[in-house]
Amino acid sequence: MALAAAQATLPQYSSKFSRHDGCTLPQLAACLVLRAFWRTSLRGAQAQLEDSRDLQEALHLSQVPDHNALWRAHQALSEQQLTRLKEQTVRLADKARMLPHGLHAKLSADSTGFTSSRTSHSPSHQKPTRYWRARRKRKRAGLRVARAKKQPKKSWHYPKWTVAIDCRTHLILAQMARRGPFPDVQDFAPLALESHTLRPSTLVLADSGFESEDNLKLCEQWLGARAVMRIKQPRHGAQLHTPYRLALLRHLPQALYCQRNASESSFSADKRRFGDLIPARSWAARQRDVLLRGILHNCALLMSA
């Protein structure tokens, strides 16, 4: 499924200087999706492909790409190409009549974070880090082992994944990868517009992190969709003067708002199946891995349909 989507959107080779006797870019992109499915490294993906003759035939591989070729393909894939690849998976789902239309077209927007550190994911038999060795030494000596207060560092930021999901099929219509923590309210408009171009929705659901008068007006006046968001209570007895926020604050349709759990269920199922670790070191590589997760999510739903 990943190969079919990649062949329809990606060029055969990343540049005119690429060797034309090896694997094509769609084949390498499909291998990267499989690597995310296996939750392994590039060398591990190469070993898995070498051990499986069926996968080589399914991907039409004349030779198994090594980890260097997979790394170069990972670096060559741009954010625009990954977005087109995700959009193609949505078109394949629409062609298979999976996506609902009309009154049943409902959208749920939400965000989640991924782990980018291997501290708690390393096997127990590995040698502990210097920090944990120092903690154990202080604990054996009867000293305090509480974590000392430190200044915030840039490396403490985590990969944040913001998506717009169809409530019935849990397909990802739009996605965005940022460096968290970051406010959700600024990501709503790009997600709503991108998902509307693929499939217009009649109902848009989101939590209080996305609520603003501009976002509500975008759905009601420009997209022709009803927006249901939980409105934050004003502080110190302040009064709201914006019409859309005031109407939702007075009466929130709880039966419609409860359907927002589609995004929470998708995040839970995705992390249980594919893990919550983004192992890349640089931020550009982490961003590509997060976007590849959305492609893997849609391909898995297409295969199970």
Cβ-proximal residues to 44 (8 Å cutoff; 6+ apart), any chain: 35, 38
What's the rounded mean pLDDT across residues 163-179? 96
Could you tell me which of 302, 293, 274, 287 has the C-alpha nearest to residue 5?
A: 302
pLDDT in tens, 200-231: 999 999 999 999 999 999 999 999 999 999 99
Starting at the edge strand that comes first in sequence, how are the strands of the sheet with 172-180 ordered?
172-180, 158-166, 106-113, 203-206, 226-229
CA distance 295 to 88: 9
Whole-number pLDDT of residue 97 = 94
Whole-number pLDDT of residue 128 = 53
Q: Buried (b) or exposed (e) across 273-303, using 16+ Cβ within 10 A?
A: ebebbbbbeeeeebbbbbbbbbbbbbbbbbe
Percentages of the chain per state (helix, strand, coil), in multiples of 5:
55, 10, 35
pLDDT in tens, 250-293: 999 999 999 999 999 999 999 999 999 998 889 999 999 999 99
**Structure-block tokens of residue 53:** 């003759």
Find the largest Cα–Cα distance for the chain: 70
Asked whether residue 124 carries a pLDDT value surpassing 70, the answer given is: no
Torsion of CA 14, 173, 169, 255, to 10 degrees: 160
Of 53-62, 152-161, 254-263, the one with minimum mean pLDDT is 152-161
Of 13-27, 79-93, 257-271, the one with minimum mean pLDDT is 13-27
Q: Give the 3-state secondary structure of residue 97.
A: coil
Tell me the average pLDDT of the chain.
Answer: 89
More confident residue, 170 or 140: 170
Domain map (residue ranges) of the chain = 101-116+155-291
CATH of 101-116+155-291 among 1.20.1440.130, 3.20.20.70, 3.30.420.10, 3.40.50.1370 = 3.30.420.10
**Structure-block tokens of residue 110:** 């939400």
Whole-number pLDDT of residue 165 = 97
**Segment of 42-46, 120-124, 144-148 carrying the highest mean pLDDT:** 42-46
What's the rounded mean pLDDT across residues 7-11? 94
pLDDT in tens, 94-112: 999 999 999 999 999 999 9
Whole-number pLDDT of residue 269 = 94
Of 76-80, 117-121, 163-167, 224-228, the one with minimum mean pLDDT is 117-121
